[in-house]
């Protein structure tokens, strides 16, 4: 048989056939107790091997072009377990500067207690990573496109660097989703998701996933059963349901975001737009080469005489929201949320002004999103 297309994979891969009743969807198996008569596998939810956990793991592995994947109870459970599966006391990691706030917090708060060393470096120029590699470096960890400024890191170059020095390369692939980016195809060892975002897609699932070769995933599994960060079967079922429409949703997110980015870029009240699909994005060419689509996330800076809080309040359909990547359009002001703990000067140094808004473009009609922004501009224009 010919290889299936991505939409068919989203709908069908990993599904559990309902042999008993012939139902159209995977049944939910909530059991925490399975027979153990000396034969394998020992099924148990914390072992990531109940029927629904295996089903969702297979689906995510197929989409990531990975040999195996495991579902976790949150993105941070996935990130922390993956990192600690490959690190021990005395090891060193090179991180990209711009990583998800919760991941950054995990590193700076926890690693000291484990005796694990780290450096952060600017990911835009790959030479920065090489400069930070030391004798005890074990892992390089990147996130692209990044949050909130949508910087693009050259995945192939980082994967090549990791191979050259015998390091494990990891990526947080959340913003792209496996529809827009398949990092293992570019040589990355471990791809991680907050499935709370595009994989879930409806702002009602907290989940995570790690994908990689069977050999590496065996290591992640061994740590995973000790840290206990597995996904529940009910959530595994919901996530399977969500991923059936992943490719469909992401195509619409991509199309809407491109139109919105071009509209905002041409708008006199907007100072700057950060979106990898724009030709003037500094790494547009790399994004084009390594992504299958540019995604639904962007940031834009309002003109400095506009009040960014009043603008958000004036929106009717677009919701101010902490999270992202749902079917609904949401907006967030990094200076008072994700980056509130930095001083104004620290924020200015990394390009996060009080007029910067992170925009998660939903799947609504393009003209409705634009109309909402237009009516809000009318209200706040001085």
Ligand X SMILES: *Cc1c(COP(=O)(O)O)cnc(C)c1O
Residue nearest to ligand X (CB): 75
Find the binding residues for ligand X in span 279-318 (CB under 6 A): none
Interface with ligand X (CB under 6 A), residue from 10, 69, 70, 76: 76
Interface with ligand X (CB under 6 A), residue from 9, 59, 92, 197: 197
The residue among 322, 324, 354, 327 whose CA lies nearest residue 338 is 322
Fill in the per-residue mask, 79 to 118: x = in contact with ligand X (CB under 6 A), - = not in contact: ---------------------x-xx---------------
The whole-angstrom separation of Cα 178 and Cα 162 is: 21
Quick check: 356 and 301 in contact, CB under 8 A? yes
- Give the shortest CB-326-to-ligand X separation in angstroms: 12
Q: How many residues can be counted in the chain?
A: 382
The residue among 249, 245, 246, 194 whose CA lies nearest residue 71 is 194
Q: Is residue 74 close enough to count as binding ligand X by CB under 6 A?
A: yes
| Separation in Å, CA 177 to CA 35, 41, 256, 293 | 37, 31, 16, 10
Q: Is residue 196 close enough to count as binding ligand X by CB under 6 A?
A: yes
Residue whose CB is less far from ligand X, 197 or 252: 197
Quick check: 94 and 68 in contact, CB under 8 A? no
Residue whose CB is less far from ligand X, 16 or 324: 324
Residue whose CB is less far from ligand X, 45 or 148: 148
Find the binding residues for ligand X in span 157-176 (CB under 6 A): 172, 174-175
> Which amino acids are annotated catalytic?
46, 100, 172, 197
Q: How many residues bind ligand X (CB under 6 A)?
A: 16
Q: Give alpha helix (H) positions in the chain.
A: 6-12, 51-63, 75-86, 101-114, 127-132, 155-165, 177-180, 214-227, 233-243, 246-265, 284-290, 308-314, 344-349, 366-380
- Give the shortest CB-72-to-ligand X separation in angstroms: 8
Binding site for ligand X (CB under 6 A): 74-76, 100, 102-103, 143, 147, 172, 174-175, 194, 196-197, 206, 208
């Amino acid at each position: 048989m010919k290889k299936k297309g991505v939409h068919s994979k989203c709908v069908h891969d990993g599904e559990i056939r309902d042999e008993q009743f012939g139902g159209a969807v995977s049944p939910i198996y909530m059991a925490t107790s399975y027979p153990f008569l000396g034969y394998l596998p020992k099924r148990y939810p914390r072992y990531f091997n109940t029927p629904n956990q295996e089903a969702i793991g297979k689906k995510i592995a197929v989409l990531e072009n990975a040999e195996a994947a495991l579902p976790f109870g949150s993105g941070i459970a996935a990130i922390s377990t993956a990192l600690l599966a490959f690190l021990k006391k005395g090891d060193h990691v090179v991180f990209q500067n711009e990583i998800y706030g919760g991941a950054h917090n995990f590193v700076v708060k926890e690693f000291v207690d484990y005796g694990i060393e780290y450096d952060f470096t600017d990911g835009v120029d790959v030479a920065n990573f090489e400069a930070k590699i030391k004798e005890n470096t074990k892992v390089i960890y990147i996130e692209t496109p990044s949050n909130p400024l949508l910087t693009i890191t050259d995945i192939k170059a980082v994967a090549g660097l990791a191979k050259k020095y015998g390091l494990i390369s990891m990526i947080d692939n959340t913003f792209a989703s496996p529809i827009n980016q398949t990092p293992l195809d570019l040589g990355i060892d471990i791809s991680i998701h907050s499935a709370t975002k595009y994989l879930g897609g409806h702002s009602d699932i907290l989940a995570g996933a790690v994908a990689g070769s069977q050999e590496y995933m065996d290591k992640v599994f061994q740590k995973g059963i000790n840290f206990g960060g597995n996904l529940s079967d009910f959530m595994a079922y919901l996530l399977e349901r969500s991923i059936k429409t992943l490719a469909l949703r992401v195509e619409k997110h991509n199309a809407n975001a491109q139109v919105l980015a071009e509209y905002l870029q041409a708008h006199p009240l907007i100072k700057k737009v950060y979106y990898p699909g724009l030709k003037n994005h500094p790494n547009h060419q790399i994004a084009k080469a390594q992504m299958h689509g540019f995604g639904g996330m962007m940031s834009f800076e309002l003109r400095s005489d506009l009040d960014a809080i009043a603008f958000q309040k004036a929106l009717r359909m677009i919701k101010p929201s902490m999270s992202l990547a749902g079917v609904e359009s949401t907006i967030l002001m990094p200076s008072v949320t994700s980056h509130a703990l930095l001083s104004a000067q620290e924020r200015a140094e990394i390009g996060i002004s009080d007029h910067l808004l992170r925009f998660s473009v939903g799947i609504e009609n393009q003209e409705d999103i634009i109309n909402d922004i237009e009516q809000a501009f009318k209200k706040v224009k001085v």
